[in-house]
Chain A
């Protein structure tokens, strides 16, 4: 009981745990899922370079990082604000270990060595951070992870030996092998798509595997799980380890995408953006973060033009994001996915309002 119980995003077990596993499996028989998959596969035929990478590529990358948060928050009941920090560390390590324009810092390892080591280091960092966070309960998680995230931001800002201070690391060299420049728009899009699909599949699979079910049990009632003989903290730390790995993959893609990284990329605002993406999309299902990321990227790209077009100050993007986030948190805690599910179920359960509404 106690704090963890209250700290779950979706306090009603009816709406959260049992239907989720069933629905995730049902997705594979869902024609809409096949259609979305097909469109994503042939996207390079439809979209040009700008849309392909700046919109869809970025959406998928942010989606991967937010997916790691969704896994922790949705299945583990732990809202971690350090997922972007883990991704940022993976990006920084890719730059520091690999080849970049800052020759005095970069060690110049080949990408096939630098990338796995970067991912491993970031995963280790995330796991240790998670092990710290699980020493306390519920709401403290968000504070500890926020403290880790902002400490990392200030550290990258003031440290010149490893992170090159506030200028960051520029002109990072991306992989180039088998005669393909993997950072060219179309190959890079497919790299992102494959990684995103693997992460999505892995989260979906884990949520139904014994480990994921035990984790959801830990989220719902840690005491009972402990009494049943499960090691509650070990499950939580393992969840952090997996989520860190996913976030680290997103971080490597992120740094390949922009070819540079600086403290601005790991700032507290960015870390909170990941939370916004996950919560707006919905943390009850793995598809939520990707929906949230698409909305976020579209807003970020087009708000300026839109606001100027209707005669407002174009710089108020964050105001809009903040207000949108507030509306979602106050009125639909399970995000866009929750809204959609409620809308779909409106006929079946007309006499009994669905659980989520109680808090709306």
Chain B
């Protein structure tokens, strides 16, 4: 941190100004001139919160994607299908049992098993051939998409939010001041905040598991050099299967989250595949903190873009990706 400031004083200053401006925008009561130019503060705050919570969802999807890539060099383009499948499983379970928590568990387990099956039956046979593996995942995504369309049809499904989490929550952010001088605080759906908190916990847990446990050490060693790791006597195929299970299971859980936040339908698989791709391109392939940063940036860009420049929103996300590729092609937080 101090090294960065010493080396790039100008950049640090710019970043500091930007952070201060962002904090001021979030916490201060906006003067009337700003409200006229920029719209109401409530709209801005909601967009920011939507962006951050959407970023949490993107992180859940993209962290599995980046984990699988980091260890196995496998660009799993069927990751969006796993997300959608998890959503469908979660919906079926929540309708059958009425339990929201159970739908997470079921989606995680079922989709993790699908991931293990993919790793063992398909990818193990063509190990070390990146491009062919990627092509296979494209074929699988087509097959999965059509099978799911067959089984679930083209309808929209939404998972019922549990009663305890329904309703808004008041946050300590002033949106406006009434003429009586009383401050109006932001109301925000509780379920989104809870899910965001959960994705932060999952992210931190993953980071701790990777950096503080033995299995995490093995996985990190595998990211650096899997041949040497195998030569050291580690049963690398077992590690591969486990990581694939974890990555796929996270995508499945994210599907349940997505089905609660928004809804799921055919086509969502591609939307979330795109999100994961952009997130990991921005954040850096194979890096969990990178996925978190990328998810936050993409979520915010998407939501703020769709509020302030509705018909060009996707261009903002895309331009960010282009900028990152131009300045730092390996991604913002990539280790290599």
Please, could you name 17 A-B residue pairs with CB atoms under 8 Å apart, sorted by A?
Answer: A3-B73, A6-B130, A6-B131, A136-B325, A136-B329, A142-B77, A142-B131, A143-B75, A146-B77, A147-B277, A147-B278, A158-B310, A159-B312, A319-B142, A319-B147, A319-B150, A325-B139
A7-B313 CB under 8 A given contacts A135-B326, A144-B281, A326-B136: no
Taking CB atoms and an 8 Å cut-off, the chain B residues in 198-251 that contact chain A are none
Min distance, Cβ A359 to any Cβ of chain B, angstroms: 7
B321 at interface, CB cutoff 8 A: yes
User: A79 to chain B: which residues have CB within 8 Å?
Assistant: 131, 134
A322 at interface, CB cutoff 8 A: yes
Closest 8 CB pairs of A and B: A322-B142, A326-B139, A322-B143, A135-B329, A150-B274, A319-B146, A318-B146, A151-B318
Contact B145 A318 (CB under 8 A): yes
User: B124 to chain A: which residues have CB within 8 Å?
Assistant: none
User: A268 to chain B: which residues have CB within 8 Å?
Assistant: 270, 274
A8-B131 CB under 8 A given contacts A132-B326, A139-B73, A143-B277: yes
A346 at interface, CB cutoff 8 A: no
Contact A139 B75 (CB under 8 A): yes
B132 at interface, CB cutoff 8 A: yes
Main DSSP-derived SS at the A contact region: helix
A138 at interface, CB cutoff 8 A: yes
A125 at interface, CB cutoff 8 A: no
A44 at interface, CB cutoff 8 A: no
Contact A7 B130 (CB under 8 A): yes
User: A154 to chain B: which residues have CB within 8 Å?
Assistant: 271, 274, 314
Contact B314 A9 (CB under 8 A): no
Taking CB atoms and an 8 Å cut-off, the chain A residues in 318-357 that contact chain B are 318-319, 321-323, 325-326, 329-330, 333
Contact A155 B130 (CB under 8 A): no
User: B105 to chain A: which residues have CB within 8 Å?
Assistant: none
User: A333 to chain B: which residues have CB within 8 Å?
Assistant: 132
A-B contact count (CB 8 A): 130
Contact B75 A132 (CB under 8 A): no
A147-B274 CB under 8 A given contacts A132-B322, A158-B313, A322-B146: yes
Taking CB atoms and an 8 Å cut-off, the chain A residues in 200-225 that contact chain B are none
Taking CB atoms and an 8 Å cut-off, the chain A residues in 135-190 that contact chain B are 135-136, 138-140, 142-144, 146-148, 150-151, 154-155, 158-161
User: B325 to chain A: which residues have CB within 8 Å?
Assistant: 132, 135-136, 144
B134 to chain A: closest residue by CB: A142
B128 at interface, CB cutoff 8 A: yes
User: A6 to chain B: which residues have CB within 8 Å?
Assistant: 128-131
User: A316 to chain B: which residues have CB within 8 Å?
Assistant: 146, 150
A333 to chain B: closest residue by CB: B132
Taking CB atoms and an 8 Å cut-off, the chain B residues in 283-336 that contact chain A are 285, 310-315, 317-318, 321-322, 325-326, 329-330
**Most chain B beta-carbon neighbours within 10 Å: one of A147, A158, A329:** A147
- Out of B75, B143, B273, B326, name the residue touching A326 (CB < 8 Å): B143
User: A142 to chain B: which residues have CB within 8 Å?
Assistant: 75, 77, 131, 134
Min distance, Cβ B155 to any Cβ of chain A, angstroms: 15
Min distance, Cβ A139 to any Cβ of chain B, angstroms: 5
A333–B330 Cα distance when bound, in Å, is 29
B140 at interface, CB cutoff 8 A: yes
B310 to chain A: closest residue by CB: A158
B15 at interface, CB cutoff 8 A: no
A149 to chain B: closest residue by CB: B274
User: B92 to chain A: which residues have CB within 8 Å?
Assistant: none
A329–B122 Cα distance when bound, in Å, is 11
A5 to chain B: closest residue by CB: B130
Contact B142 A321 (CB under 8 A): yes
- Out of B136, B271, B278, name the residue touching A329 (CB < 8 Å): B136
A62 at interface, CB cutoff 8 A: no
Contact A329 B143 (CB under 8 A): no
- Out of A7, A139, A151, A323, name the residue touching B274 (CB < 8 Å): A151
User: B318 to chain A: which residues have CB within 8 Å?
Assistant: 147-148, 151, 155
B19 at interface, CB cutoff 8 A: no
User: B184 to chain A: which residues have CB within 8 Å?
Assistant: none
B18 at interface, CB cutoff 8 A: no
A275–B137 Cα distance when bound, in Å, is 13
B197 at interface, CB cutoff 8 A: no
Can you list, as one digit per residue, whether each of A89-105 has a CB less than 8 Å from chain B (1) or not (0)? 00000000000000000
A272 at interface, CB cutoff 8 A: yes
User: A275 to chain B: which residues have CB within 8 Å?
Assistant: 135, 138
Contact B311 A159 (CB under 8 A): yes
Contact B139 A322 (CB under 8 A): yes
Contact B314 A158 (CB under 8 A): yes
Contact A330 B136 (CB under 8 A): yes
